[in-house]
């Protein structure tokens, strides 16, 4: 097998025997075969778009199936087989509408479902591109593929909420189709990667619109970390729409619903909290701790998106997946009239003991998205001008299992008292419950939201830059980013598209970035690896 798409890839050099995420070589091969088929579909979709034939079904399918190939989303070989079959059906339907055209071998590719899809997937592994292509172009191709997976995931969520933009779908399909072109040089691939970043900015904007138009702009909200007595359901992942659907189906059942992982920011959406008072608190921390946390949770558990780890036997019977998420033999929720039916989850929760003891009250605050922070922009600007606020640090991104991620905890602990920490995504769980106090009534630790709420961070940065009539690189803001999977790659490409400089990235740099590409990023954007908290803090404040 060959996979370099996550930060924890084996020895920092790629997974070749077994996925660090838990995916087997067999699942990886069929996943590669799906991506290969999607590349063929993309060339047909682009022709259909030129002919003004509707491609919406193909675009939505592409986003969901790419989402499924991300780290810690789907481990079920049968599901990938189903995706491949559906991909070919959609492709052939579009070809029939286009009439007789001269299609490439890839656009006509037909796997043999009577033979091993694993061996066929191994024949189209991304690693084979490396053997016939310049290392730096291969590096940028992987960057584009992994980035477009992250872009597809945000586009998928935005579409669920009724927000779409065909220009985003266009970039996704163009990027997939470009993988098999031999006429593109290094500069072309840099441009493609930055175009993915631009499209991802639009996708995050659409998702922000979907969330805020449906559930209201987030407001500062205290979220209990201690459970209350009674039956319980835990919802993990990122999908706020599916959380809302579960809340609607559990209303008046007496079941309390808790968030886990990146659904913590859901508590900041006022329409969600007002309508569903049984959305009570948050349980647990980041994804890599789920095997311990899920085992201890005394109720049913729903995974709406990543990050799913191979489940342990002591909780797999109470675990449910939906949408692009999957694991062989784990309960999968089905749709009824287009909506997921959560009745099996409710029945499981009612059969389990729920919380029978209460613990000491603890809480954290969420809800500091762009509307909230820019709403007090005058206070922020005045505090900066008066020297009461010296610097902002955005410390966030993905969490992971490596011990060197303690860097981010130590960094926040060492931030001077006249500085403010902004955070987002699951990287926040390294320090989300620390009491850092306030400056001029502004909390020194502000949770902007989920990983896609990097859009909020960008809006805030641009707002401050406009207030001081300077570029975004001139405001007192430093980005200390942790990455793990492909959404983080898409966000990084967005930041590079915006020309944002001096990003510190860790805990390690991507295995798929070649030395020459890294030098380009360093020379052009001053992208750099993290070192030590003390040194990086000193450099940022110098």
Backbone φ and ψ for 182, nearest 5 degrees, come out as: -105, 5
Q: Which fold has domain 221-351?
A: Rossmann fold (3.40.50)
Contact 334, 340 (CB under 8 A): yes
The rounded distance, in Å, linking the Cα atoms of 214 and 211 is 5
Residue (of 55, 60, 63, 180) closest to 490 by Cα position: 63
Please give the mean pLDDT across all residues of the chain: 97
Mean pLDDT computed over 199-218: 99
Rounded percentage of the chain residues whose pLDDT exceeds 70: 100
Record the tokens describing residue 14, joined without a space.
């790629």
| Res 133 pLDDT > 80 | no
β-bridge partners, 74: 326
Mean pLDDT computed over 438-447: 97
Q: Which residue ranges make up each domain of the chain?
A: 10-213, 221-351, 368-541
Has domain 368-541 been given CATH number 3.30.70.20?
no
Has domain 10-213 been given CATH number 3.30.470.10?
no
Rounded percentage of the chain residues whose pLDDT exceeds 90: 96
Identify the pLDDT of residue 10.
Answer: 82
The rounded distance, in Å, linking the Cα atoms of 208 and 316 is 33
Mean pLDDT computed over 186-212: 99
| Res 11 pLDDT > 80 | no
pLDDT band at 132 (very low <50, low <70, confident <90, very high): low
SS (H, E, C) 411-443: HHHHCCCCEEEEECCHHHHHCCCCCCCEECCEE
Contact 231, 256 (CB under 8 A): yes
Q: What would the pLDDT profile of 392-405 be if each residue is shown by its tens digit? A: 999 999 999 988 99
Instruction: Please indicate whether the domains covering 10-213 and 221-351 agree at the CATH topology level.
Output: no
| Res 129 pLDDT > 80 | no
Identify the pLDDT of residue 431.
Answer: 98
Its pTM stands at 0.97
Torsion of CA 444, 449, 455, 457, to 10 degrees: 10
Q: What order do you get walking across the sheet with 445-447 strand by strand? A: 445-447, 419-423, 391-397, 477-482, 504-506, 528-529
Q: What would the pLDDT profile of 274-283 be if each residue is shown by its tens digit? A: 999 999 999 9
**Between helices 135-160 and 186-215, what is the axis angle to 10°?**
20
């Amino acid at each position: 097998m060959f996979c370099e798409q996550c930060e924890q890839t084996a020895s920092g050099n790629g997974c070749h025997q077994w996925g660090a995420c838990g995916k087997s070589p067999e699942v990886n091969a069929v996943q590669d075969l799906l991506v290969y088929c999607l590349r063929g579909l993309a060339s047909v979709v682009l022709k259909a778009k030129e002919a003004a034939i509707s491609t919406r079904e193909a675009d939505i399918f592409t986003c969901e199936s790419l989402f499924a190939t991300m780290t810690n989303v789907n481990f079920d070989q049968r599901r990938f087989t189903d995706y491949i079959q559906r991909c070919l059906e959609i492709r052939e339907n579009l070809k029939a509408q286009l009439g007789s055209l001269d299609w490439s071998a890839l656009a006509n590719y037909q796997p043999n479902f009577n033979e091993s899809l694993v061996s066929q997937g191994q024949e189209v592994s991304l690693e084979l591109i490396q053997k016939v292509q310049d290392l730096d172009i291969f590096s940028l191709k992987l960057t584009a593929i992994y980035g477009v997976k992250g872009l597809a995931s945000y586009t998928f969520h935005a579409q669920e909420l009724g927000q779409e933009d065909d220009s985003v779908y266009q970039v996704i399909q163009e990027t997939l189709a470009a993988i098999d072109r031999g006429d593109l040089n290094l500069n072309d691939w840099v441009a493609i990667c930055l175009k993915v970043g631009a499209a991802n900015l639009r996708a995050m904007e659409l998702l922000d619109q979907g969330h805020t138009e449906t559930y209201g702009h987030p407001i500062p909200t205290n979220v209990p970390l201690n459970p209350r007595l009674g039956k319980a359901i835990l919802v993990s992942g990122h999908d706020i729409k599916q959380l809302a659907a579960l809340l609607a189906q559990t209303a008046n059942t007496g079941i309390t619903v808790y968030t886990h992982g990146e659904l913590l920011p859901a508590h900041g959406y006022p329409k969600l909290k007002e309508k569903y008072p049984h959305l009570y608190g948050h349980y647990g921390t980041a994804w890599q701790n789920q095997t311990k946390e899920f085992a201890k949770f005394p109720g049913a558990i729903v995974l709406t998106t990543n990050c799913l780890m191979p489940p342990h036997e002591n909780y797999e019977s109470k675990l449910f997946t939906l949408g692009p998420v999957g694991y062989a033999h784990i309960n999968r929720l089905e749709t009824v009239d287009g909506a997921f039916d959560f009745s099996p989850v409710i029945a499981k929760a009612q059969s389990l003991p729920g919380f029978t003891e209460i613990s000491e009250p603890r809480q954290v605050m969420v809800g500091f998205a762009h509307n909230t922070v820019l709403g007090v922009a005058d206070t922020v600007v005045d505090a900066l001008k008066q020297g009461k606020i010296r610097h902002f640090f955005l410390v966030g991104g993905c969490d992971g299992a490596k011990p060197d991620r303690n860097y981010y905890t130590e960094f926040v602990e060492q931030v001077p008292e006249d500085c403010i920490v902004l955070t987002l995504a699951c990287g926040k769980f390294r320090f989300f419950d620390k009491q850092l106090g306030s400056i001029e009534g502004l909390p020194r630790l502000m949770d902007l939201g989920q990983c896609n709420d990097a859009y909020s961070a960008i809006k805030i940065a641009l707002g401050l830059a406009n207030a001081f009539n300077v570029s975004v690189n001139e405001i007192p803001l430093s980005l200390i980013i942790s990455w793990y999977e492909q959404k983080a790659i898409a966000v990084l490409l967005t930041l590079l598209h915006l020309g944002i400089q001096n990003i510190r990235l860790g805990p390690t740099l991507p295995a798929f970035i070649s030395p020459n590409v890294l030098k380009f990023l360093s020379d052009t954007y001053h992208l750099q690896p993290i070192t030590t908290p003390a040194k990086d803090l000193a450099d940022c404040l110098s």
